Structure 1
Amino acid sequence: MTQTALSLLFAPFTAVGRAALTFVAELGGFSIFLVQGLWRIVVPAPSWTKIVQQVYFIGVKSIFVIALIGLFTGMVLGLQGYYTLVKFGSEGLLGAAVALSIIRELGPVLTAIMITGRAGSSMAAEIGIMRISEQIDALSTMDINPIRFLVAPRLAAALICFPLLTALFDVVGIMGGYISGCVLLGINPGVYFDRIDATVELADVTGGFVKALVFALLVAAICCYEGYFTHTRREGFGAKGVSLATTSAVVLSCVVILVADYVLTSFLL
């Protein structure tokens, strides 16, 4: 058998092997990047000014959209939940159904996805533009650690903002369920809130915050990583590379959020 025939025969295995090696290399590089970012939050002393700026950008500017999405998510859950539970004569459990659905799953997941779309894309684009315009190289030339200057404040701000915004989403979502179930459909408000108080446990709330912290790390690290290494993309360079990095950051973050949610739910249940 000739060399060409052998190459054609083993081409599928070669492609799979190359893809596996690329994936492992990317995963290793991302892990090192994440560890360096976390380390630079505390060593040397945190840059509080930059952290506060990022908290404002990631957190404060996301309050309205998170509250709006939380309100209508709760209203939809209240509406759909009522017409499902009423078939079994259990409409009194609407409060518990809405609260548990939001606190355990929808609160952390939708909050993370909305922040990814609003702030994560901006992180990737901003750092990507700094990379292609050689501003990151200039930081290194001036002996300023780029990861400490650009990545660490964003990671720290994400760790602060995600749980707080998740809590806001939970409260507003439960009130949205109250509007649908009690104000519009006539469920007794006392029954609604009593079922929430009797059903929701501290472990449910803690589990939601654990998910929010994990999502914060993943989203901030992925968006910063994609922007930081824009110049290494093979699909395009310059403005096109930034565009691709931003798109990749948002899509990959959303996929990772859902995968991580499943994994964390498996451990937390």
Structure 2
Amino acid sequence: MVYLENIGRYFIMLREVFSRITKWPMLKKLILKDIDDLIFGSLGIIIFISFFIGGVVSIQTALNISNPLIPKYLVGFTTRQSVILEFAPTFTSIIMAGKVGSYITSSIGTMRVTEQIDALEVMGINSLNYLVLPKIVALMLYPFVIAIAMYMGILGGWMAAVFGGYSTNEQFIHGLQIDFNTFHVIYAFAKTLVFAFLLATIPSFYGYYMKGGALEVGKASTSSFVWTSVAIIIANYVLTQLLLG
């Protein structure tokens, strides 16, 4: 019953987020700040993780190709498919649920504890629109992060394969090019936009509706990470079935 109640409150929150829009000059400042905090502030960890994940996928693929009849270009092919279809959009989003989600929950939760949200309401400002909408808009740039994650993952795979002696440069690049399907990239970016919406709204929900003091802020951040990750995994399954099934 608690979960159903939370789902109902979540959709009520979404309705309020898109009503009584904050004036554009203030909204613009909030959006630019959130772009800096949520998008640019996450690039470092995403680049680092994507590079090494791509390298690991490449090495594991090469080590499992023990039959000499299996062409070596499959290392590049498998790395490309794994990174574009799953590792870049989904694995990165779960990492972002920890980094970005915890930041959003803790920042809004702290405002709730210190009664700053109550002060916004007293001033006649729609606090949900003021706090959540800029984050939704900022995270619509999330595909930009995923594009970089794809590039770095494939680059990491190429470096691991070529410099590790698992494949030649020509074989790996041939594997990257063979049977390339543009729709796979469209599919990855489409589900990335859904993940971005979940990353912006679920942590905001847990931060906005939390009760208690500083200890509860930490608990709310943990809950937001868990349920954002669960929502991303479920959405990934549903979208994969709809778009690729």
Q: What TM-score do you get using the length of structure 2 for normalisation? A: 0.93
- Which residue matches 2:14? 34
Q: Could you list the runs of 4 or more consecutive aligned residues of structure 1 that deviate by over 6 angstroms after TM superposition?
A: none
How far off its partner does 1:100 sit?
A: 0.8
Conserved? CA contact 1:41–1:152, under 8 Å: no
Q: Secondary structure of 1:59's partner?
A: helix
Q: Is structure 2 residue 31 aligned with structure 1 residue 51?
A: yes
How far off its partner does 1:165 sit?
A: 0.8
For the pair shown, which has the larger CA radius of gyration, 1 or 2? 1
Conserved? CA contact 1:41–1:156, under 8 Å: no
Conserved? CA contact 2:22–2:126, under 8 Å: no
Which of residues 25, 48, 65 is equivalent to 1:85?
65
Query: Matches of 1:251 and 1:153 in 2, distance apart?
Result: 23
Query: Matches of 1:130 and 1:179 in 2, distance apart?
Result: 45
How far off its partner does 1:42 sit?
A: 6.9
Query: Matches of 2:39 and 2:117 in 1, distance apart?
Result: 25
Query: Matches of 2:12 and 2:179 in 1, distance apart?
Result: 41
Q: Secondary structure of 2:178's partner?
A: helix
Identical-residue share of aligned pairs (%):
31
1:63-106 residue CA offsets vs partner (Å, 9 max, x unmatched): 11000000100000000011112435232111111011110111
Which of residues 215, 240, 255 is equivalent to 2:215?
240
Structure 1 portions without partners, runs of 5+: 1-18, 232-236
Matches within 5 A, 1:38-117: 39=18, 45=24, 47-87=27-67, 89-117=70-98
- Which residue matches 1:177? 157
1:35-66 residue CA offsets vs partner (Å, 9 max, x unmatched): 433x2597764722111110111111111100
How far off its partner does 1:117 sit?
A: 1.6
- Which residue matches 1:200? 180
More off after superposition, 80-89 vs 244-253:
80-89
How far off its partner does 1:25 sit?
A: 2.2
Matches within 5 A, 1:226-237: 226-231=206-211, 237=212
1:128-166 residue CA offsets vs partner (Å, 9 max, x unmatched): 111121110100000111012111111111121x21111
Judged with a 3 Å threshold, the aligned counterparts in structure 2 of structure 1 residues 256 and 177 are, in CA distance, closer, same or farther, namely same
Query: Matches of 1:64 and 1:240 in 2, distance apart?
Result: 29
Task: Give RMSD over aligned pairs.
Answer: 1.8
Query: Matches of 1:43 and 1:141 in 2, distance apart?
Result: 15
- Which residue matches 1:23? 3
Which of residues 135, 143, 150 is equivalent to 2:124?
143
Aligned residues: 242
